Amino acid sequence: MKKPNVMLQGTGSSVGKSILTAGICRILNNRGLNVAPFKSQNMALNSFITKDGKEMGRAQVVQSEAARTEPRVEMNPILLKPSSDVGSQVILLGEVHKNMDAREYHEFKPELADKVLKTYRTLEKDFDCIVLEGAGSPAEINLRENDIVNMGMAELCDSPVIIIGDIDRGGVFASIYGTYMLLEDDEKARVKGFIINKFRGDVSLLQSGIDMLENKINIPCLGVIPYFRLHIDDEDSVSLRFAHQDTKAITIGVVRLPHISNFTDFTPFEMEEDVKIKYLKSIYDFEDIDLLIVPGSKNTIEDMVFLKESGMQEKILRLHEEKVPIFGICGGYQILGSLITDDESHESSIDKIEGLGLIEAVTHISHKKRTVQVTGELNGTFMGEKLEGSVTGYEIHMGVTDYKEKREHFVHLETGEIDGIVKDDGMVIGTYLHGIFDNDNLRDTILNFIRKSKGIAGSKKAESFNEFKDRQYDELAKLLEDNLNVNKIMSIMGIGEA
């Protein structure tokens, strides 16, 4: 039996599909429905590991959190992780399938349609309703053949469609009209409404345009969402996140690697009132840094080449000499080492490269990918102060790191394994753990040590990151409730008024 559903498609990328999907999931859950998000194909370098060790896109994890349900790989059966300008690693139902270029993947898509629909059906069995998200735009007519993420997916699961347009970019009426008019007649019949997102100003001045557009395409406007900023992980906010710069007491510098992955690791710092995240894009950005983070990477060797050629390697080593603490996560951890090898070209055509040499360790890139959630106990120091307490996180990496020197271990895992290393009295730390800063005790400890070193009076204890996130989802839901015709959306889904 078909369950109620609706699909949010956009006039293009970054119009707000992901975050509006999350908000609608929270609204429906607030109304007593057990709701699941679904995106058949996601292209992103931000990923998450489920409890059963499967890899999925972070956007669907955010949406599942908003829906108050456990993330499941079925919510994102296909994840494409770009490894070059023309190729991606294809993650199928949480496991690595193979690397493919764009043409090879396009030819592979017909084989995926049945798998995607079967996966969707498993969610239908377990949930009251499903909110789907498209990718890019359904008006990319050159990609319509074999489509499994926009109108092709809507057809597979018989879903009504709502189109989202971003007015902040300008030309929202043309983009919605053009998107709709490029659809085939049967696809147009699925479109039951449109939403204008990211509006700044007096909505009454927009009404005449809305009326004219409704008359031209004969579908209703379901709401106008004002421009807002909430601290919610969102693929569509990538450019804003990298550009956002504030003046705060503490500056955490994150190296802007060309193949940066899982930049959502740093979201917890954004709720700290006295902390600024500064993404370092060139050698001129390395001033006034209190903590430097080398983040995850989808192509560690190529990113190490970038650090050498850009002059950023020298800047990082200079910060180390100046006693600025340096933290490497996953690929960033590998970069901290003395050597990275990739003899079988799993990520790069370069077989080996010297790392930063801040840790005497060698990483061998292998074909086997480690994907696991972990729990452990902190064991080491930061800026000379002892780290204590339990931490949780998840690992996603294809490298094995061997140490050439005995140093403090960063985390002792419950399995008896070791994750990471601490060097130079806690001034250099490397770890494979993504989500490490989600741990409130570690984040508080790190920031309070920095505050102490800068002579900032008193220590602070931040609120629970999970409670903070939940409050953000509630704020998002309220914003959408105030500006969307929610009862109409539920009617479109086949739920009716609640």
* pLDDT interval class at 406 (50, 70, 90): low
User: What integer pLDDT is reported at residue 239 of this predicted model?
Assistant: 47
Class of residue 44 by CB neighbours under 10 A (exposed 0-12, middle 13-18, buried 19+): buried
User: What integer pLDDT is reported at residue 143 of this predicted model?
Assistant: 83
CB neighbourhood size of 172 (10 A): 25
Residues 19 and 46 both lie in one domain: yes
User: What integer pLDDT is reported at residue 348 of this predicted model?
Assistant: 73
Distances (CA, A) of 186 to 155, 182, 183, 395: 9, 12, 8, 44
What range defines the domain where residue 308 resides? Answer: 250-455
Asked about 364 being catalytic, the answer comes back as no
Catalytic residue among 330, 346, 397, 409: 330
* Residue 154 in domain: yes
User: What integer pLDDT is reported at residue 382 of this predicted model?
Assistant: 87
User: What integer pLDDT is reported at residue 273 of this predicted model?
Assistant: 85
Q: Specify the residue for token string 């609640």.
A: 498
* Domain of residue 116, CATH code: 3.40.50.300
User: What integer pLDDT is reported at residue 307 of this predicted model?
Assistant: 96
Lowest mean pLDDT: which of 212-226, 309-323, 407-421? 407-421
* Domain of residue 321, CATH code: 3.40.50.880
Residues 335 and 417 both lie in one domain: yes
Supply 295's token pair: 């983040």
* Residue 489 in domain: yes
Residues 126 and 43 both lie in one domain: yes
User: What integer pLDDT is reported at residue 235 of this predicted model?
Assistant: 56
Residues near 304 by beta carbon (within 8 Å), at least 6 away in sequence: 335, 340, 353, 354, 355
Assess whether pLDDT exceeds 90 at residue 113.
yes
Catalytic residue among 259, 346, 409, 434: 434
Supply 246's token pair: 């504030």
Number of residues assigned to the chain: 498
Instruction: Report which of residues 85 and 381 the model is more confident about.
Output: 381
Alpha carbon distance 324, 320 (integer Å): 5
Average pLDDT over residues 20-26: 97
Residues 256 and 372 both lie in one domain: yes
Average pLDDT over residues 92-121: 91
User: What integer pLDDT is reported at residue 326 of this predicted model?
Assistant: 95
Supply 471's token pair: 């409050």
* Residue 462 in domain: no
Q: How far apart are the first and last CA of the chain?
A: 21
Residues 265 and 214 both lie in one domain: no
Alpha carbon distance 420, 401 (integer Å): 9
* Residue 150 in domain: yes
Residues 279 and 362 both lie in one domain: yes
Alpha carbon distance 277, 421 (integer Å): 24
* Residue 243 in domain: no
Task: Give residue-wise pLDDT tens across range 371-392.
Answer: 999 999 998 888 888 888 899 9
* Residue 242 in domain: no
Asked about 434 being catalytic, the answer comes back as yes
Assess whether pLDDT exceeds 80 at residue 450.
yes
* Residue 297 in domain: yes
User: What integer pLDDT is reported at residue 358 of this predicted model?
Assistant: 93
How many CA atoms does the CB half-sphere of 377 hold within 13 Å?
Answer: 6
Given a contact cutoff of 8 angstroms between Cβ atoms, the answer to whether 359 and 352 are in contact is no
Average pLDDT over residues 100-112: 88
Number of domains the chain is built from = 2
Residues 287 and 225 both lie in one domain: no
Average pLDDT over residues 267-277: 89
- 486 in helix, strand or coil? helix
Residues 293 and 440 both lie in one domain: yes
Given a contact cutoff of 8 angstroms between Cβ atoms, the answer to whether 399 and 390 are in contact is no
Task: Give residue-wise pLDDT tens across range 180-201.
Answer: 999 999 999 999 999 999 999 8
Lowest mean pLDDT: which of 196-210, 316-330, 372-386? 372-386
Residues 198 and 281 both lie in one domain: no
Assess whether pLDDT exceeds 60 at residue 237.
no
* pLDDT interval class at 232 (50, 70, 90): confident
Instruction: Give the strand order in the sheet containing 87-92.
Output: 41-43, 78-82, 87-92, 95-101
Residues 433 and 298 both lie in one domain: yes
* Residue 238 in domain: no
Element (H, E) at 479: helix 465-483
* pLDDT interval class at 498 (50, 70, 90): very low
DSSP calls for 85-152: SSEEEEEETTEEEEEEEHHHHHHHHHHHHHHHHHHHHHHHHH-SEEEEE--S-TT-GGG-TT--SSHH
CB neighbourhood size of 180 (10 A): 21
Assess whether pLDDT exceeds 80 at residue 407.
no
Residues 155 and 280 both lie in one domain: no
Lowest mean pLDDT: which of 116-120, 196-200, 262-266, 341-345? 341-345
Q: What percent of the chain has pLDDT over 70?
A: 95
Residues 133 and 98 both lie in one domain: yes
- 170 in helix, strand or coil? coil
